[in-house]
Structure formats: structure tokens, C-alpha cells
Amino acid sequence: MTGLGGLNPSPSSLTLGLVQQQVPLVETTADVDAATDRVVAALRAAKEGFSALDLVVFPEYSLHGLRKSGWARDELMCDLDGPQVERLRLACREAGVWGCFSVMERNPKGAPFNSGIIVDSAGEIALYVRKLHPWTPKEPWEPGDIGVPVCRGPKGSVLSMLICHDGMFPEVAREACYRGANVLLRTAGYKFPLKQSWRITNEANAFQNLAYTASVCLAGHDGNGIPSMGEAMVCDFEGTIVERGDSTPDRVVTATIEPARADAARREWGVENNIYQLGHRGYTALAGGATDCPYTYMSDLVSGRYRVPWEDEVQIVDGTGEGYGPPREAGSSVDTARGGLEAR
């Protein structure tokens, strides 16, 4: 139950506001500042108009838009201790609400990171993550290097953040939940061709891990190509969609969820308690279950030998077809190569 989209929250419920933000057009530092102003204004307006909100979630690229021309310019990137992030933190503190934000983060050693932060109601950064799996070959970002963090959030939630394409990998959601997350926040800039994949992965990530998923994309058109899809979505731990938005730019989709119910399912379910059963195979027949790792891809990945059977036949293995320069070699610095960031 979502209590009429959060209008009737219980004391134990977490009330979410998912902002289907209009995709910004960013070409200058002034545009980044203007986009930051819009995010701040939207957060304040959401909380003022809906006082029950505990957490407001903004899409990926909400400060930087989707134009490659803006991505390739170092002066448009942000720093965690920079003015844009400081304004986001101040807005959360003044409004007394948690916020989840997207930041394209400057990286002196290579291509920028596609990063995300969760800020608490006191204005402190509670979680900081770098996108593990940039949407190659379309995106030029440096792959994330700080794993899949989690943090304690309001109303008994344990939060983690999956940035767009990260949510297509079941391993990322599983890692977050293995570390204790019961609410997965997914921010994205996806456009309409990904609508079906968006839905099924949001549902699957929830059910396979007995977690809630709360996801939101940019919406609208920036005058270039296919519009972004919006499509905010909340799934419960059975994989059922309990709230779903549309393509309306700047619509705030609200929902109330009960993190404690996901926690209870993880402790009380037998059938389909899959996140537990992964490491306790066949416990009905074998006390405690089998605790080995029968999955070749896992052991190969750990040992640096990951290789699909069709490895030599894969045709697209860098971003040159998308107009980016060649990727930098491992260990090289930004001074020797821009890691594919510079457009040709």
C-alpha cells in the first residue's frame, strides 16, 4: 500500500518524491548553475507542497544534460567540494529533507566520473558513489572505482544508488543488497527505446533481492534526438509496480513504502528468499546448504580472466564509433590521453 501516493503515510513509512526533471540543455558554466538552481527550486517546492516527503530523488544528468558537447569540457564538471554540491547540500538542510542527486565529477587523472550523492536532512553527504558501468559506447566516463556503498536513511531504510546502466546488471543490485540495502534508488537519463528494459530490470532487482526499487529518468526534449522518457517507478519487494509515472517533464511522482516489510521478508520467507539462498543452496537436503561458488563467471572475474565464449567476435569495444578518441591505456594519465573523452 502506498497511502494514496504518500498522502497518508504511517509513522514507519518512507515517503518518496521522484522528480521527472525536464532534461536541461547545458553548454556553459552558467547553464550548469542554472540547472542547479532548478534542482534546488524543485526540491524546496516539493517539500513545501508535500510536507510528508522524506526523500526527493532527481535523475541522472539533472545538472549536465545529455549533450556530448557539454560532457567533453572540463570546465563544466563539478567537484564534491564545489559550489554546485554545496548548494544542493544547503537546500536539503534548509528544507529539512533528504535528497539524491547526480553530479558529473571532475577527475584530474582521466575522464570524469559519473557520480551520485545522497544528502541527509542536515545537509551532510551520507552516500557517495561513482557509476560502475558507464553506458558504453555512448558514454565516455571513467568506470567507477569505489564499489557499491550503502547508507542508513530515514524511516528504517538502508539506501544504495544505482546510476542508470548499473541497474541493468543484476550483480550491482545484488551487491548493494548483500551489503544491507533495502531500498535501491536508480537515477537515469534513458530515452524511450529503453522503456521495456527499464521496467523489467526495476521489477527484477526488487524481487530477486527482496528490496524496494525507486527509479526516475529525465523527461522531455532538449532539441536533440529522441526525448527522455520520465517514467518514475516504485516497485515493492515482490517485484510489483506500486507507483508509475509517465513522460510529463517536471512531474513529481510520490509514493510511500515500508522498508521494515522488506527486512521482515528477508528474515521470515522460505520460498524465494533468493538473496539468502544464493549462498545456501539446497539447505533442505544439506544442513546449512552448499556454500561453494559454482559460477564460472564469478571466479573468472575475480581472477581477471573474464572472457565470454564469443570474445574475439565482439565488434564494438571502444567509443570511436560514437566520435570519441581512443581510450587511454590502463595506468596512463590524463596528460597522455583523455580516455576517450575528447570528441573527434
Residues noted as catalytic: 60, 131, 164
Per the DSSP assignment, residues forming a β-bridge with 301 are none
Count the helices and strands in the chain (H runs, E runs).
9, 14
Question: 521495456: which residue's cell?
Answer: 196
What is d(CA 40, CA 141) in angstroms, rounded to the nearest whole number?
25
**All 3 cell numbers of residue 296?**
564460472
In DSSP notation, 150-171 reads EEE-GGG-EEEEEEGGGGG-HH
Radius of gyration of the chain (CA): 20
Report the C-alpha gap between 146 and 131 in whole angstroms.
9
CA distance 296 to 244: 37
CA distance 272 to 267: 12
- 152: Cα separation from own chain's centroid: 16
What length is written for the chain?
344
Rounded Cα gap, residues 130 and 161, in angstroms: 9
DSSP assignment, residue 12?
Answer: T
- Give CA separation, 48 vs 52, 105, 190, 317, in Å: 9, 30, 29, 47
Longest dimension (CA), the chain: 64
Find, among 77, 74, 82, 128, the residue nearest to 101 by Cα.
128
Among 150, 139, 190, smallest CA distance to 168 is for 190
Grid cell, residue 151, equals: 547508507
